[in-house]
């Protein structure tokens, strides 16, 4: 949870309510957290029966929303009005007149998911002036491993770089799915402090030996037995490693090998910082870079660009299996 969101929740816990909260953005994970919080944490269970009003944009008229906000709470100091899927409300900007002069006894949450509200409208302008505007931006793919580690800390689970990368590679950028999978492990091992590869394999079903994160390392480490064992596995189980996913993993690995050529001679700590890796993994990359000089790595990066276009059907008539075998053979030359 980021600092801005924590600040919002801390103020609510102190009963320092804003009359209007506009939450928007492409990432629904945090919007769902905020909405759930408004539904369960502001009013007591008894107060909710009469003072929690939930409306949906596609099923409501803007005048109905305003009327709900103007009503007085019953047997409570405040009422909570939640407008979900606000982007689907016809005449959404008509709410700006209410937001300009909001009711002091209403806490109004406008949930505008999957995209940002138009910042040029009076709705957004008055929401910023009279209340709080929070945008939940989509997290970039390269930021997912770090997000997983941060989320793990909030769940009292230490997650290493390698484990976070494996989870990111296999679970994608669906934050709720990632949290659900980590929680699945937590339920089974409530007292463990570290999310190890063994736990990931047992409870999430991702194999350490046969994962796309380990595959590029097997190729550059010189361990041919492991490489061919993994290649055989992926050829027999193509759904576990789609070509675009494999190529992305190879590209990340070779990009680090490329950078490793420029940090040779530095301490493990400094090299790890430069490459964005943890110190315990830097030794493997630096060792591999001894056998993969710049000209060889550059050739592989160019090859990966070529196979990236072929993987989506450009100038390619072969199936994924043949393409994978060909790519591995070319990278080894």
The DSSP secondary structure of 282-330, one letter per residue, reads: HHHHHHHHTTS-HHHHHHHHHHHHHHHHHHTTTT--S-HHHHHHHHHHH
Q: What is the pTM of this model?
A: 0.70
Phi, psi of 104 (to 5 degrees): -70, -15
pLDDT at 179 over 90: yes
pLDDT of residue 209: 66
Q: Is residue 166 part of a domain?
A: yes
The domain that holds 121 is classified in CATH as 3.40.50.300
pLDDT at 301 over 90: yes
Same domain for 200 and 244: no
Same domain for 145 and 102: no
What mean pLDDT do residues 231-249 have? Answer: 83
Same domain for 125 and 35: yes
What mean pLDDT do residues 133-148 have? Answer: 89
Pairing of strands 52-56, 79-84: parallel
Q: Is 204 exposed, middle or buried (0-12, 13-18, 19+ CB in 10 A)?
A: middle
The domain that holds 200 is classified in CATH as 1.10.8.60
What mean pLDDT do residues 273-300 have? Answer: 81
Same domain for 112 and 13: yes
Name residues whose C-beta falls within 8 Å of residue 257's C-beta, 6 or more positions apart in sequence. Answer: 220, 285, 288, 289, 292, 297
pLDDT at 208 over 70: no
Same domain for 236 and 187: no
pLDDT in tens, 60-78: 999 999 999 999 999 999 9
pLDDT of residue 27: 94
Selection from 324, 321, 185 nearest residue 247 by Cα? 324
Selection from 101, 136, 120, 103 nearest residue 22 by Cα? 136
pLDDT of residue 207: 67
Q: Is residue 238 part of a domain?
A: yes
Same domain for 324 and 267: yes
Q: Is residue 77 part of a domain?
A: yes
What mean pLDDT do residues 88-93 have? Answer: 96
pLDDT of residue 278: 65
Length of the chain: 333
- 28 vs 263, which has greater pLDDT? 28
pLDDT of residue 15: 93
Mean pLDDT score across all residues of the chain: 89
Domain containing residue 71: 3-135
Q: Where a domain ends, among 180, 204, 228?
A: 204
Same domain for 109 and 146: no
Q: How many domains, in total, are found in the chain?
A: 3
Cα 327 to Cα 39, 304, 331, distances in angstroms: 52, 8, 6
Same domain for 34 and 124: yes
Helix residue spans in the chain (DSSP H): 3-13, 28-40, 45-51, 62-70, 96-100, 122-130, 144-154, 161-171, 175-188, 197-199, 214-221, 224-236, 243-260, 268-275, 279-289, 294-311, 320-332
Q: Are 136 and 29 in contact (CB under 8 A)?
A: yes
Q: Is residue 209 part of a domain?
A: no
pLDDT in tens, 163-176: 887 888 778 789 99
The domain that holds 271 is classified in CATH as 1.20.272.10
- Determine what percent of the chain is predicted with pLDDT higher than 70: 97
What mean pLDDT do residues 293-312 have? Answer: 90
Between CA 42 and CA 17 the distance in angstroms is: 9
Same domain for 266 and 300: yes
What mean pLDDT do residues 118-122 have? Answer: 94
Same domain for 222 and 158: no
pLDDT of residue 280: 61
pLDDT at 141 over 70: yes
Between CA 177 and CA 200 the distance in angstroms is: 14
pLDDT in tens, 321-330: 888 999 999 9
Q: Where a domain ends, among 83, 103, 135?
A: 135
Pairing of strands 52-56, 132-135: unpaired
pLDDT in tens, 7-17: 999 999 999 99
pLDDT of residue 279: 66
Same domain for 7 and 129: yes
Q: Is residue 28 part of a domain?
A: yes
Same domain for 92 and 25: yes
pLDDT in tens, 154-164: 998 999 887 88
CA-based radius of gyration for the chain:
26
Q: Where a domain ends, among 181, 204, 227?
A: 204
Q: Is residue 23 part of a domain?
A: yes
Q: Is residue 312 part of a domain?
A: yes
pLDDT in tens, 33-69: 999 999 999 999 999 999 999 999 999 999 999 999 9
């Amino acid at each position: 949870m980021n600092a801005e969101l924590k600040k919002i929740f801390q103020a609510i816990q102190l009963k320092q309510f804003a009359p209007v909260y506009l939450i928007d953005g492409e990432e629904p994970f945090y919007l769902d957290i905020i909405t759930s919080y408004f539904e369960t944490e502001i009013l007591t269970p008894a107060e909710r029966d009469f003072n929690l009003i939930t409306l949906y944009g596609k099923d409501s008229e803007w005048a109905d929303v305003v009327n709900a906000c103007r009503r007085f709470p019953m047997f409570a100091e405040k009422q909570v009005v939640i407008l979900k899927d606000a982007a689907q409300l016809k005449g959404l900007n008509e709410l700006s007149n209410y937001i300009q002069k909001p009711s002091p006894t209403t806490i109004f949450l406008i949930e505008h998911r999957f995209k940002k509200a138009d910042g040029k409208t009076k709705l957004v302008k008055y929401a910023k002036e009279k209340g709080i505007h929070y945008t939940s931006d989509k997290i970039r793919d390269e930021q997912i491993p770090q997000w997983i580690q941060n989320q793990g800390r909030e769940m009292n689970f230490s997650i290493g770089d390698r484990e976070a990368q494996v989870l990111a590679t296999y679970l994608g950028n669906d934050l709720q799915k990632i949290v659900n999978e980590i929680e699945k492990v937590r339920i089974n091992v409530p007292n463990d402090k570290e999310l190890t590869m063994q736990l990931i394999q047992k409870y999430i079903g991702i194999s350490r030996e046969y994962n796309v994160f380990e595959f590029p390392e097997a190729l550059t480490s010189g361990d041919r037995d492991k490489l061919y064992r993994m290649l055989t596995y992926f050829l027999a189980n193509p759904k576990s490693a789609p070509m675009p996913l494999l190529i992305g993993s190879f590209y990340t690995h070779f990009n680090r090998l490329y950078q490793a050529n420029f940090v040779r001679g530095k301490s493990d700590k400094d090299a790890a910082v430069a490459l964005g890796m943890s110190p315990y993994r830097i030794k493997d990359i630096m060792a591999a870079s001894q056998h993969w000089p710049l000209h060889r790595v550059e050739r592989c990066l160019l090859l990966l660009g070529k196979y990236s276009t072929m993987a989506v059907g450009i100038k390619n008539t072969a199936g994924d299996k043949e393409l994978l075998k060909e790519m591995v053979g070319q990278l080894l030359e």
